[in-house]
Amino acid sequence: MKLAEAIKEQRELKGWSQEESANILKVSRQSVSKWESAKNYPSLDILIAMSDLFGITLDHLIKGDACFKKSYFRGKL
């Protein structure tokens, strides 16, 4: 599962709108929209907050998303 799909799935399981999720995470609704459409990726601190908020592991959010891993870790290894 891609990161975008995982974020949207977890948000919908909680019954939250993008606006509600954004308010909880202290980001804009547009940020949530971009994450869910894979136009942008959340920062690591936001990923950790989402993991805690949704009660899931970071692995569940990002492990299956090769594009995220490639862009996030580019030049860091």
Q: State pLDDT tens for residues 50-72.
A: 999 999 999 888 876 566 666 66
CA 17, CA 59: separation in Å to the nearest integer?
24
Q: What is the pLDDT of residue 59?
A: 86
Residue 35: per-residue pLDDT: 96
The answer to whether 43 and 62 are in contact (CB under 8 A) is no
**SS3 (DSSP) at 2:** coil
CB atoms < 10 A from the CB of 61, how many? 21
Per-residue pLDDT tens digits for 5-45: 999 999 999 999 999 999 999 999 999 999 999 999 999 99
